[in-house]
Structure 1
Amino acid sequence: MSHPYDHRWRERWQRNRAKRARRMSRDGAYRWRLRHRWHQRWHHHHKQFKHSLGARLIAIFVVLAGTSSLLLWTSMRSPDVLLLCVMGLLGVIGMAFGLIRHMVQPLHALAVGAEAFRRGEFAHRVPVIHGDEIGDLAQRFNQMAADIQAMLDGKRALLLAISHELRSPLTRARLHAELVGEGESRDALLDELAQMRDMINALLESERLGSGHSALQLCEVDLAALAREQAQPRLELLIEPDLPLLRLDRLRVQLLLRNLIHNALRHNDPSRGAVQLSLQRAGTGLQLKVRDFGPGVPPEALPQLGQPFYRPDQARTRHEGGVGLGLCLCRLVAEAHGSRLVLRNVEPGLEAAVTLR
């Protein structure tokens, strides 16, 4: 016969066993949370270390200093291994140099990207090599280029739309002006309308040339023949014989010649001489020069020439005509052909030079 109170001992033992189980469970959960928290913290610091270029450089210098000190201490205790210590030190230095060069290698890509952006090549993208601060900077560079390109595309689309829409009312205004009786008012009105038409055409052409080489229609062009087509009384042609043909856009080169000559004639002083148009060989290409004998432009204004709507006060006035798009078109035509428009004072006058290949 079992004792009638045995179930009390059994219940107490079961309660104690449940308490021990709960305590062990709490201790295991705590240890797991502690281990998991340490693991997360380690991953966080490891991520920060990989992202920080300065931290990795400091780590390399610390390892280099520690290894150098250890090798120096070893060589002092045992002079027989001095040569091995020196070789080991050189190896460590070479390894540190390689690691540092690998870490700063993306800086060269950033420099190349900055130069491309300076030239207006916003389609260029900087490669993101590492996921550190330099990688973040490369991503910001690429985002900046995309934003600028989108802004320029929007500006170009808006300008093209406005220019196209202005053509129709301008044509109607010219037709109405021609119905007005002859006189100074009619001539002045037609002249102003003609200037507006030329400005709209120049804006449209400048936006087309904004896409660079893709806007050109290249063919074999006799540049000397194009220059002779511009012959007029106040223009002196200096053309070297037997010049080769070049692959150019004939209409755009005609526009270049016409604008350069028109600009030179407008500011030339005939008493000093006629405007000179020279064409000669320059390496594998041809160099085109147009020089006038006018007052020139101030030296501080030379870098601004060729910018849209820029007109130096000393050289141009509104009554002489022109809105500052002629040289801008010349610059765009030259750049679309892979060249550049060079403007300089030649005492007296101004010289514009373009080398075409």
Structure 2
Amino acid sequence: MQITFLGTSSGVPTRSRNVSSIALRLPQRAEIWLFDCGEGTQHQIIRSDLKISQIVRIFVTHMHGDHTYGLMGLLASCGLAGNPSRIDVYGPPKLEEYLKACGRYSQTHFSYPIKVHTVRPGVVFEDAEFIVRCEALTHRVPAFGYRVEEKEKPGRFDVERAIAMGIPPGPVYGKLKQGKVITLPDGRRINGADLCGERQPGRKFVYCTDTIYCENAVELARDADVLVHEATFSHQDAELAYQRLHSTSTMAAQVALGAQVKQLIMTHFSPRYAPGNAIGLDALLAEAQAIFPNTLMAHDFFTYEIPRQASQPLATPKR
């Protein structure tokens, strides 16, 4: 699981930061799941090493333009990039109505099916490998945070031991790898769990924006490997945060601390902290790290590999 930040500014783009979008790459499935799609997102994807043709799911947090204005253009381009079999779009009420209106007035016709799912708190997607949940956040319009959980996987299957026990290779190995109990032709019952190492816990990725500090964010992020949380304002501008229902750097850190996450990555920064202004982004980072030391600050094209069982983050900036 790898996340790439395609836009880390709030409200409007700047010279160095586009508006909100994050790509979650799942290499084992050759899939990309997108979270939010602000204006210019498809240009950011083109500038990255991501493939538009691998996008299969898009999760939208809320209907504000800096999170949705790029969606219609991207969906149109996806059809031209290789005719995907289907794209599933998840988001708040009015999202489907918005996309239909865009298609109607722009005379855009998709060459592939798009399924829009209106989300509510709880499970919004599940298959054999992943489960995605959402929870309501606190913002000026209906907004949701998302939690992606990779399901626990069987431990390494001991092939050498299986051969030594006289278990013939074949389809039965697949069942044993899943921890199932099988009966051999000679009558022996073999428990696959006895031939596998410790089960591998799944990784957990949580995305919370836009919101002021709220308990729902803490619960959604509980024990996550990575929490991506908005930090629109400095703690020194907390009054603005309360007025506009956005988070400060310290609020993001408090969510991470309360949820006991392993890594916090802040994003969605106000342009007021651009270089040359009275308060810089380094101040926001220092504020957050004073509360939650394991905090990183995202920039456009920053890529973070979510480790399985590592105490240190594996972060690689890509420009």
Shorter-chain TM-score: what band?
under 0.3
Q: Looking at secondary structure, tell me which structure has more helix per residue.
A: 1
Bigger radius of gyration, 1 or 2?
1
Q: TM-score, normalised by structure 1?
A: 0.20
Q: Looking at secondary structure, tell me which structure has more strand per residue.
A: 2
Q: TM-score, normalised by structure 2?
A: 0.22
